[in-house]
Structure 1
Amino acid sequence: MERGAGTPIRITGTGAYLPEAVLTNVELQVRTGLRDEWILSRSGVRERRVAGKEEAASDLGLAAARRALEEAGCPPEALDLLVVATVTPDTLCPSTACWIQARLGAPRALPFDVSASSAGFLVALSVARQYLRSGAARRALVVAAEVVTRYVDWSDRENCFLWGDGAAAAVLEAGPGPGAALLALTLHADGQQADRLLLPGGGSRVAPITARTVETGAHAIRMHGHQVYRSSVRRLVEACREVLGEVDLPLEAVSLLVPHQANLRIIEAVAARLPLPMDRVIVTIGSTGNCSGASLPLTFDAARREGRLRPGDIALLAAFGGGLIWGAGLVRM
């Protein structure tokens, strides 16, 4: 058994932030030529939020973090750990977590980023849980913040309509007390499929940035949609069943499936194969698009705010992203 594995880990507050600017399918049609009805049928997306010119990942993350801390009744000074999940950081160095720590006023919190694409929130949760279980931290803040639209090739008619910007956060505390219990987490990866969903530019493989790398689209998201679809559905179903098995819970105990909002087709396929009826699945992609790592916590926060999750309910969280990395988690409200 892991050291401290019996220590209860609680989510005591969540918060979300979406930029003000809305880009609808109708507006996107002017830029891309893609019709509203076609986008909706392919993805379930009607509109997405777009960060302002002066907004970076830390700006979105800071707003979400403040809301989560306020709900938790936790002052920033009490935080021991700050983990940010992002693939669209403010800067490669320092981490986005450092920028948020400074502006939040959390001098005791150890800040660092994790990069796990759309599975980033689950990975960050897992890291924070280990710190709390070990006793190295008592209170942790997990933030997922993405400004994905800065990395979209608007001429890529297969994927450009999917993406949106946003952030969400959760406060985790160790020990008994009020809040939602984090019951279990499972994570997996297959790096041999890394080229199926990637952002080539910005790292040491494609450096320095030149006119040529910009012209060739090296700094835009690339995704092999059909391959990702097949892998994601199968892997998400497996992860959901695995995490339920870890705590001996039947599928019938799940009150609500809270999936990463990658694509409505993927969400519906996962629900059908588990199986779970769609009235026990929350779908928000229509108004947010795919916000990468921020998608899952945005949806979890929405489920709480909309009354889809009540005390005692079991939420099944599931996400899949570039890496490829996938996983699932269980939360008792």
Structure 2
Amino acid sequence: MKSLMIQGAKILATGSAVPSSSFSNNEISKVVDTSDAWITTRTGIKERRLLKGVDKSIIDLAVLASKKALDKILMDPSQIDLIILATSSPNDLFGSASKIQYEIGAINAVAFDLTAACSGFVLSLVTASQFLQTGVYRNILIVGADVLSKWVDWSDRGTCILFGDAAGAAILQSCSSIDNSILGFQLNSDGNYSKHLSIAYEHNIVPHSELNLYQGSFKHISMNGKEVYKFAVFQVPLSILKCLNSLNMSVDQVDWLVLHQANERILTAIAEKLSISSNKVIANLHKYGNTSAASIPLALDEAIQDNKISHNDIVVIAGFGAGLTWGTIIIRW
């Protein structure tokens, strides 16, 4: 049993990966009754990336994103103590994190999946920070990855235009409490509204009726866009303000706002409610669409590559989505 002592946690590196195949609004209009103007006006999305090929899976994207993060700091995978995969579309219903552990050579790491849909990366950050701050582990790899193109009903104009495939990764390390970067967090769930965004299970009776068992399969993504929009625009600003208030910080101190990339209207409405300039909102939704658990680490990694985020910047990260779940984590970069 390792001794427990309160330490700090910090992000050492990030990485991301997207499929090479893009799918524009004009192309999607050939599949379903829509248009580039209709999609852009309502969502802000111009294209999305789709993982194609019968032999391709979420593992491919997650492994590539993980290796990119490791390479940036020249870390040997054997130094990773824990891997958390945030996903709602694992390659195996029993979990895919252990496959990533094997593929990257993290021979000393324990690995598990965490399912919280579009809030998954935020919950993974919080979960990882707890392991690090208690001194149980030193290096943790978290991956947000989803391949929701496999669960989309391509005849449903309300959902098929939204989702894309991607993976994003971050490596966290324990540090002294003085150097702690994870300043605070705030998490919520409300299962009463879970029906508004789901991939429901549909059962059928087993042919052998004497067993009295039901077996079936999961259906396609179902979403009540109006209700999800109202939920996000109302709850996310409250979560962010509550988190800032707990740290005696003001909105003016926020340098960057990294939100789950669900819809441009949602990003704009949240920023307006907080009176945060659009210049502080990191967004890449137009290129990738909604990539669920991958959207935040993908946007974060691109912002870092573009040298937007600087040392000591206050970064507010907020996720929201199916469950319904939502949460905020505040980081000093």
1:142-157 alignment runs, 5 A limit: 142-157=142-157
What is the CA–CA distance in structure 2 between the aligned matches of 1:115 and 1:244, rounded to whole Å?
Answer: 26
What is the CA–CA distance in structure 1 between the aligned matches of 2:247 and 2:5, rounded to whole Å?
Answer: 13
Q: Deviations over 1:223-245 (max 9, x none)?
A: 11101100111111011111111
Name 1:60's counterpart in structure 2: 61
Q: Is the 8 A contact 2:7 2:180 kept in 1?
A: no
Structure 1 residue matching 2:311: 3-state secondary structure: coil
1:239-258 alignment runs, 5 A limit: 239-258=239-258
Structure 1 position 73 matched with structure 2 position 65: no
1:1-333 alignment runs, 5 A limit: 6-53=6-53, 54-93=55-94, 95-176=95-176, 181-201=181-201, 206=203, 218-333=218-333
Bigger drift between 67-76 and 234-243 goes to 67-76
Larger radius of gyration: 2
What is the CA–CA distance in structure 1 between the aligned matches of 2:126 and 2:309, rounded to whole Å?
Answer: 22
Q: Deviations over 1:77-126 (max 9, x none)?
A: 01110000000001012x21011001111121110000000000011111
State the TM-score, normalized to the length of structure 1: 0.92
Residue identity in the other structure for 1:83: I
What is the CA–CA distance in structure 1 between the aligned matches of 2:5 and 2:326, rounded to whole Å?
Answer: 22
Structure 2 residue matching 1:158: 3-state secondary structure: helix
What is the CA–CA distance in structure 2 between the aligned matches of 1:50 and 1:264, rounded to whole Å?
Answer: 20
Aligned length: 323
Q: Deviations over 1:187-218 (max 9, x none)?
A: 110011111110113xxx647899x978xxx5
Cα distance 1:327–1:146, how it changes in 2: closer, same or farther (>3 A)? same
State the TM-score, normalized to the length of structure 2: 0.92
Query: What's the % identity of the aligned pairs?
Result: 33
Name 2:210's counterpart in structure 1: none
**Aligned-residue offset at 1:179:** 8.7
Structure 1 residue matching 2:83: 3-state secondary structure: strand
**Aligned-residue offset at 1:33:** 2.1
**Aligned-residue offset at 1:256:** 1.0
Cα distance 1:158–1:248, how it changes in 2: closer, same or farther (>3 A)? same
What is the CA–CA distance in structure 2 between the aligned matches of 1:293 and 1:9, rounded to whole Å?
Answer: 21
* Structure 1 consecutive aligned stretches of length 4 or more whose deviation exceeds 4 Å: 3-6, 177-180, 207-210
Q: Which runs of 5+ in 1 are unaligned?
A: none
Q: Is the 8 A contact 1:20 1:49 kept in 2?
A: yes
Q: RMSD of the TM alignment (CA)?
A: 2.2
Q: Is the 8 A contact 2:7 2:135 kept in 1?
A: no
What is the CA–CA distance in structure 2 between the aligned matches of 1:207 and 1:171, rounded to whole Å?
Answer: 43
